Structure 1
């Protein structure tokens, strides 16, 4: 959640770029300038409450499951192979994504709201207002709209991110030694692999969860390819990378510091 407070503008920019139509040819800089011009600097943090709630549900679940299963596997069989790490990451991502889908739906809608005409905006006050209104106005099942796309993306993301991070950390440890430089380098490698592998699924997930007609992920995928071309599946690549890499670095740095304080004062 602390890391998200820092990288939220890049996540919002990524979402806006993924929702641009086939005729849009715009850069990260122009999207950011447009947001600041029309919504003010605070517009870059639109949907922050949903982003924090997403971390409290989805990320708590995925990191907890991955670390727990990694430790149990290591106790029984030794350090997992790279394939084993990918499998553990896939499992953790799938379960975590299902838990976090309601927060994900709220986040996509809240970050997308500013691009709509004033009369079409949902104007959710915060994530809890969004959860309540979606449940009342569209039914509780809408909170899990796009679950298939969300879970699919999360399985790829976590296999790539957690598995690659763990492997890169292991390989770079003898060269860089333990410390922030190691965490940063491993995180940026993991981030690049993660975005390259998961961006098409992320684009489809974003479109599905923002849609009002309940379109499925296969239909959305085909529409994107047909109307915008295959490269559109990687729309928002740069802001996604600039979000995932630093977010991973900051997450592990904060985690290690919080762990140190916990074992110092909390045990």
Structure 2
């Protein structure tokens, strides 16, 4: 297991995050508006993706669209270090292959899910801070619980001082289904699609092959990840009472029940379009950057 595979995996995600973080901000705001309220009973400051960009830019300036960027970079680096590191190791050691040498989709799903779960768990504090900073908004367009953080490390210090390590990892187990579904679907689709496009002679140029496979993988990932992503956003952003318990939800199961009961099944798909518009290009760029960095590494060591 080569440590450089993990470092390259984390590095590949950083460039993509700069481009896609504004969509993450919009997605978070849309997922939080109308929290635990029936459709049509609340004011919607964000009436779609384009409108949300205009509203945030008008009320908070361009910098408002990059809220939570610092913890997002830490989160993505840790997550993708494990996720893509596991993927490369499994591919190189033929753990993702059938006896006939073909890439196995179920095995790809397993290794992608495992890497995603491990990476997401260890990066959980940064995911929580990212969500809470992205939800902070001007009073006129505020949605969800409003935390009073002034920055990433101030938030980490404050939470640790008040709640200890358990406070930093609050809600971390809720990210496991999100990571398993999203990462598993992405990694399995990416590996299988790359092989299919190459073996059938449809797309053989390495960079274009990675780009096409990454685009398809990102689309599949966005369909799988939106419901657990809504739950994760709600659980991470909720405030806590004096004993450290969430003021809205007791856990992911309680969150599902309350969201469906008050907002309907469509409540689990709030923010789907900004999520799709973020994940598809983000996935494409991360996997493309990763393959390019791995090629550079292999040329350097060859």
Larger CA deviation: 68-77 vs 102-111: 68-77
Q: Which residue of 1 aligns with 2:84?
A: 63
Query: Quick one: distance in 2 between partners of 1:245 and 1:99?
Result: 24
1:132 aligns with 2:157: yes
Query: Quick one: distance in 2 between partners of 1:108 and 1:170?
Result: 36
Gaps of 5+ in 1: none
Query: Quick one: distance in 2 between partners of 1:134 and 1:7?
Result: 27
Specify whether residues 197 and 36 from structure 1 end up closer, same or farther in structure 2 by C-alpha distance, changes over 3 A only.
Answer: same
What is the aligned counterpart of 2:283 among 244, 248, 253?
248
Specify whether residues 212 and 27 from structure 1 end up closer, same or farther in structure 2 by C-alpha distance, changes over 3 A only.
Answer: same
SS in 1 for 2:202: helix
1:36 aligns with 2:57: yes
Q: Which residue of 2 aligns with 1:92?
A: 115
Q: Which residue of 1 aligns with 2:267?
A: 232
What's the offset of the Cα at 1:166? Answer: 1.3
State the number of aligned residues: 266
Larger CA deviation: 115-124 vs 197-206: 115-124
What's the offset of the Cα at 1:120? Answer: 4.8
Query: Quick one: distance in 2 between partners of 1:26 and 1:115?
Result: 17
What's the offset of the Cα at 1:69? Answer: 2.5
Query: Quick one: distance in 2 between partners of 1:87 and 1:120?
Result: 37
1:199 aligns with 2:226: yes
* 1:114-144 superposed Cα distances (whole Å, 9 cap, x missing partner): 256799541322x222211211133321211
Q: How does 1:105-144 map to 2 (within 5 A)?
A: 105-114=128-137, 120-125=146-151, 127-144=152-169
Q: Which residue of 1 aligns with 2:10?
A: none
Q: Do the aligned residues in 2 keep the contact of 1:61 with 1:99 (CA within 8 Å)?
A: no
The TM-score, its normalising length taken from structure 1, stands at 0.91
Specify whether residues 75 and 223 from structure 1 end up closer, same or farther in structure 2 by C-alpha distance, changes over 3 A only.
Answer: closer
Larger CA deviation: 21-30 vs 235-244: 21-30
Q: Which residue of 1 aligns with 2:30?
A: 17
Q: Do the aligned residues in 1 keep the contact of 2:79 with 2:123 (CA within 8 Å)?
A: yes
Query: Quick one: distance in 1 between partners of 2:109 and 2:52?
Result: 34
SS in 2 for 1:123: coil
Gaps of 5+ in 2: 1-13, 241-245
1:53 aligns with 2:81: no
Query: Quick one: distance in 1 between partners of 2:264 and 2:155?
Result: 33
Query: Quick one: distance in 2 between partners of 1:169 and 1:258?
Result: 17
**Deviating 4+ runs (over 6 angstroms):** none
Q: Which has the higher helix share?
A: 1
Specify whether residues 263 and 184 from structure 1 end up closer, same or farther in structure 2 by C-alpha distance, changes over 3 A only.
Answer: closer
1:27 aligns with 2:43: no
1:179 aligns with 2:206: yes
Query: Quick one: distance in 1 between partners of 2:160 and 2:105?
Result: 41
Q: Do the aligned residues in 2 keep the contact of 1:70 with 1:88 (CA within 8 Å)?
A: no
Query: Quick one: distance in 2 between partners of 1:35 and 1:53?
Result: 24
Specify whether residues 20 and 75 from structure 1 end up closer, same or farther in structure 2 by C-alpha distance, changes over 3 A only.
Answer: closer
CA RMSD of aligned residues (A): 2.3
Q: Do the aligned residues in 2 keep the contact of 1:16 with 1:115 (CA within 8 Å)?
A: no
Query: Quick one: distance in 2 between partners of 1:264 and 1:231?
Result: 49
